[in-house]
Structure 1
Amino acid sequence: MKKNIGLILFFTTVFLANCTLSSVTHTNRAKDQDFAKAFMEKFFVNFKEGNTKMLYPLFSTSPYTNSMEKRNEKIDEMFNSSIKTLGPITYTKVISCNTKVNEGDKPSAEYFISFEVGHQKYITKESFKLNQEGDSVKITYFKVDPIRPL
């Protein structure tokens, strides 16, 4: 009887261990990097064309406020300030792209992507963090560092 209990405990432990290991993490996989670059291409196309309303759904509400209205106001302020200070965008070039995607019971995704961005008045380094939120990916952080004036 004790032998059977020992075997049952052993197999139960092995089974439970395999259940918790059903998550797979991918780091810097080419298709994930391509996704991040395509996502940011949507951002830059709409930014260049002045379509701020098309930028709204790309951003998370969490870094700004819990209100979409406040988030949208911040995006408009960012756009207007950028155009006034830096000038319109003339080109973008990917500097780095790092990704971490977890698949399985608790899927998640993080993307870190940086660009050299040519503006009419300055060249900048613009860094973005994207995170999976439910079934979509959103910009949760961005930073603009001027490199040099033109």
Structure 2
Amino acid sequence: MAETESRTGRDETADERADRMWGELIQEVRVAQMGVQILFAFLLTVVFTPKYDTLDDTNQAIYILTVVLGAVATGALIGPVSLHRLVAGRRIKPKAVEWASRLTFVGLILLLATMACSLLLILRVATDDDFVPWLVAGVVVWYLICWFALPLWARRRHTE
């Protein structure tokens, strides 16, 4: 090992760290990809059901927004796979991991928006109660806590 190579607490080179981080990132992306792809597939079928024609303009607009968000989230969460394939062997894995990580983060935010809009649409169609926006807001807060607040708290509390 060259003395100029940076070592981490795991006693790994920058390339070894990039390899490990890439493997971890791809495992994380697999979970999110599956969820967004199933949700997106479901959303694509809604327009072909008889119920769609009975939706008012607001609910149709929410549906269209939800489909577009689902499509964009799918693109962001599949993006790391394409990125890896197109830059493989170019000796830029540490940068590729950084870019893929950012794409994944954007994908998670878009998935959050897709899920919130989906829930809003479903609850608006299922019930016309005024509590629907509050219920959706509560679920969004829960997602924010689970997906972002808790991990950021743990990162701040348990890292140097």
TM-score, normalisation: structure 1: 0.26
Greater share of strand residues, 1 or 2? Answer: 1
TM-score, normalisation: structure 2: 0.25
